[in-house]
Structure 1
Amino acid sequence: MRKVFFNKAFIISSMASLLLLVTGCHPSPDSNAVQSATEKTTLKIGFVKLTDMAPLAVAVEKGFFKDEGLLVQLEVQPNWKLLYTRVQKGELDGAQMLAAMPLASMTAKPSGTEIITPFTMSYNGAGITVSNAIWSEMKNNIPLEDGKPQHPISASALKPIVDQYKQQHKPFNLGMTFPTGTHNYMLRYWLAAGGINPGMYDPNKNDLSGNIGADVTLSVVPPPEMMAKMVTGTTLGYSVGEPWNQKAVKKGFGVPVITSDVLWDNGADKVFGVTTSFAEQNPNTTVKVVKALIRASSWLDENDYAHRKEAAKLIAQSNYVGVDEDIILNSMTGVFEYEKGDVRPLKSFNTFFTGQYGIPYYSDAIWWLTQMRRWGQIAETKPNNWYLETAQKAYRPDIYTKAANSLIAEGKMKKEQFPNLATATFIKPPQTSRLDGVVFDANKPTAFLAAFKIGNK
């Protein structure tokens, strides 16, 4: 047999040639290319049937995910509990989430799988609706202005009715979507501001009902089931995101009495959530998802909502929200309908990008943490610094900033479309609630809690 001998120089030369061939004729890999490599390109992302899932649908339908080299499958979930569990188990790569969910994962005892948010999906998108029967009684307690109920409507108009139910030993049941969810806290805030105790949680006593000392009963109901539960009398009203408040109006079954912006303007409602481990194992993928969502949210708000009708038609499809387009449009074009025919301007309702940019602000996280403490889900009193430190673990503007800077560098968005991210503290200025006049200063969360008559301090 013929023997073939290779000298060291030949071997080195051959290996170098092979390396050049494999790397596309570059003698050494480009460091920037390595950093921008996408770890995972096929993703499964969950959502619940709500109007503010729109950025996800737009990112798919307008090709923003595709521009980032991502193949995204959107998968509807029947309720928030299953969605939350599936993200924690890794069955979903990420999901639309209630803004307090990542914080709940950080404060849970015993500790479980932690979730972070690098992007805020929506603002001012929720409302509180009551049945026609309850509304007809409430109206007697509400002053009129130009022949219409004066807004904002306080829960003090509901209190005499709740008191009557208690005297008659009848349950007064209201629906919300998840115990550590935005709609639960919004409903509780509104009730308490009107002198109605929504009840307390006590994890130290293993009482997670939320009904300790309650004047009313708050029950978990999936968003698409809200109106049906009210129509059958299971609940007398509910707190939920759109389009389920406007659907009650359009179908003639209920009346929205207040929107979330009145309680706390421009607070995060929904966020995009992934597990901490997913973000650590797939940092470039996470940034690319955020890039696509930034572009989608900007598209939804740009040119004075010029694309909203198109967006409403898009998400009205059965694979997304599956509700009539005109119902979705009722709160997507700068107006909101209360009683049938009582249509009022509400430009800030259902916003996605304008003014807040999708940034996961620490101050938004702190607001939700105060409500978790107020109602007992956080069992012990916490100092001011704990609120900020916990917010910084769950809300990640650093990831958002990388995504925004990348979009600017690539020419997909302009620097002027964002605030100065290099100098941002990600703490919004103090804000006074239009409902009760209480000032929220994210630097003083304990003072904020001390201002309330009902709830923990």
Structure 2
Amino acid sequence: MNKTTVGPLAWVNGSDAPEKTEINLGFMALTDCASVVVAATQGFAQPHGLTLNLKRQSSWANLRDKLVSGELDAAHSLYGLIYAVHLGIGGIAPTNMAVLMGLNQNGQSINLSRGLQALDVTSPEALYLHVHQTRPKLTFAQTFPTGTHAMWLYYWLASQGIHPLQDVDSVVVPPPQMVAHLQAGRIDGFCVGEPWSASAVKQNLGFTMATTQTIWPDHPEKVLGCTRAFVEQYPNTARALVMAILEASRFIEESPENRCSTAQLLSAPEYLDAPRDCIEPRLLGDYADGLGNRWQDPHALRFHGGGEVNLPYLSDGMWFMTQFRRWGLLREDPDYLGVARQVQQLDLYRDAATAVGVSAWGQEMRSSQLIDGKIWDGSDPAAYARSFKLHAMSDSSPLLASR
């Protein structure tokens, strides 16, 4: 798989040359690391004066720690992980962080076990009844206490009348270990990124109850994250990195053939180490839920969307802080907009996007309707955080000490 054109060299020469040319770039074994892997391996970085050294991580906690220590320069990261580090949530000292760009939207899933299927718990209504009528509590896994998967799981459960911190137990499991935990009966369900949901279905170990795009169509997901110190010390490097990954993101979406070749690349042992037939279908939007239903998803995993995916919207960062507040991870309302302006590197992104011919998108906020009918547009985040029937704002959350 090789790209057919070489990008402009304008930024490489003179004062715009990257200050640091070798980048240690972290990623997790998930399909949505695709643009990072493609950028590093398919000739997108070199024209911008960069060599990208890919570093697969074993857990999001390890990735976080290496980002903060500087062992990793930047990483394919959970949106909420970057904000949690910035705010000092989770027992670590606050570190100024940066979101350089969005890497993808959509494409995560909530799966339940075959054991629940055997009890006819195959609908949200049946799950609600089971949770409220049965003991012991069900155990659900997500991938990081402040991560996207935790927030999608909690939001979806709450939208069905299930309190995610009281009615069920929640544990943290690294993405590649989800299927093994389900098979061993240690968990009753999980929320994770692909290909692990598809793998559970293919191995007949679970079924997909909900996709995250049904919770929030075109929701924010992974980002290109780093410390603010990295951006300040190496601004040209950060911009060149965004340019390379933007071009890779655009390439993946240029044709179905490019998505298929990306699936083949990702299946390699050093990346996802998963069969291509677990990666490719959902990367193409072809879903089978394990209950006999199959569909072409209109909001499948996407990496570019003409730049819509990649703009680091202020409202996207703010949303995760509203959920931290909702679930007791923040004791008080932060300066939602002020923090988002610190973290989201809008100016740098727009410079990079303009340089590679991607619309820089003048907007900073976007409006969306979520599964419970609520509209999120960033206009009043404190009121939004307080508006939910199910919350844990006054609780001492056990998640604060979780890893």
TM exceeding 0.5: yes
Shift of 1:432: 1.6
The Cα of 1:164 is off from its aligned counterpart by 3.0
Structure-to-structure mapping, 1:3-402, within 5 angstroms: 33-108=13-88, 111-139=93-121, 142=123, 154=124, 156-166=125-135, 170-199=136-165, 214-303=166-255, 305-339=256-290, 341-354=292-305, 356-382=308-334, 386-402=335-351
Are the equivalent residues in 2 in contact too, given 1:357–1:418 (CA < 8 A)?
no
What is the aligned-residue identity percentage?
33
Using the TM superposition, give the Cα deviation of residue 34 of structure 1 relative to its aligned residue in structure 2, in angstroms.
4.0
Give the alignment of 1:414-453 within 5 angstroms.
Answer: 417-418=358-359, 421=361, 424-428=362-366, 430-433=367-370, 435-453=371-389
How far 1:456 sits from its partner (Å)?
4.8
CA RMSD, aligned part only? Answer: 1.8
- Where does residue 396 of structure 2 map in the other structure? none
Matched residue SS, 1:267: coil
How do 1:404-415 residues align onto structure 2 when only pairs under 5 Å count?
404-408=353-357
Q: Secondary structure at the match of 1:73?
A: strand
SS of corresponding position for 1:268: coil
Aligned-pair CA distance for 1:340: 5.3
Post-superposition offset of 1:165: 2.9
Counterparts of 1:198 and 1:357, CA distance in 2: 29
How many Å apart are 1:157 and its aligned residue? 2.9
Q: Secondary structure at the match of 1:195?
A: coil
Tell me the amino acid that sits aligned with residue 132 of structure 2: D
Q: Which amino acid aligns with 2:253?
A: D
SS at structure 1 position matched to 2:373? coil
Decide whether the 8 Å contact of 2:45 with 2:244 is kept in 1: yes
AA partner of residue 176 (structure 1)? Q
Report Cα offsets for 1:50-107 as digits up to 9, x if no partner. 0000001111222001111111110110000000000100011111100112211221
Is 336-345 or 81-90 further displaced after alignment? Answer: 336-345
Amino acid at match of 2:275: D
Residue 400 of structure 2 corresponds to none
DSSP 3-state at the match of 1:271: strand
Contact 1:333 1:347 in 2 (8 A): no
CA pair 171-274 structure 1, distance change in 2 beyond 3 A? same
| TM-score, structure 1 as length reference | 0.80
Query: What secondary structure is seen at the aligned counterpart in 1 of 2:218?
Result: coil
Distance 1:368 1:75 in 2: 26
Read off the aligned partner of 2:141 and give its amino acid letter: G
Q: Secondary structure at the match of 1:124?
A: coil
Residue type of the alignment partner of 2:368: Q
Q: Is the 8 A contact 2:143 2:172 kept in 1?
A: yes
Q: Distance in 1 between matches of 2:261 and 2:157?
A: 36
Task: Give distance in 2, aligned partners of 1:48 and 1:32.
Answer: 29
CA displacement, residues 180-214 of structure 1 (integer Å, 9 cap, x when unaligned): 10000100001111111111xxxxxxxxxxxxxx1
Note if contact 1:137-1:161 (Cα within 8 Å) is conserved in structure 2: no
Write the deviation string for residues 219-247 of structure 1: whole angstroms up to 9, x where unpaired. Answer: 00000000110111110010000001000
Q: Distance in 2 between matches of 1:369 and 1:255?
A: 30
Point out the more displaced range, 127-136 or 222-231. Answer: 127-136
CA 1:437–1:32 in 2, change beyond 3 Å: closer, same or farther?
Answer: closer
* TM-score, length-scaled by structure 2: 0.90
Gaps of 5+ in 1: 1-30, 143-153, 200-213, 409-416
- Please identify runs of 4+ aligned residues in structure 1 that moved more than 6 A: none
Give, in angstroms, the shift of residue 444 of structure 1: 1.9
**Matched position secondary structure for 1:349:** coil
User: In 2, are the aligned partners of 1:105 and 1:111 still within 8 Å (CA)?
Assistant: yes
Q: Which runs of 5+ in 2 are unaligned?
A: 1-10, 394-403
For 1:77, the aligned partner's letter is Q
Larger Cα-atom Rg: 1
Contact 2:98 2:227 in 1 (8 A): yes
Letter in 2 for 1:97: S
Q: Secondary structure at 1:302's aligned position in 2?
A: coil
Deviation, structure 1 residue 138: 4.4
Q: Deviations over 1:143-190 (max 9, x none)?
A: xxxxxxxxxxx3x43122112333xxx231110000010000100001
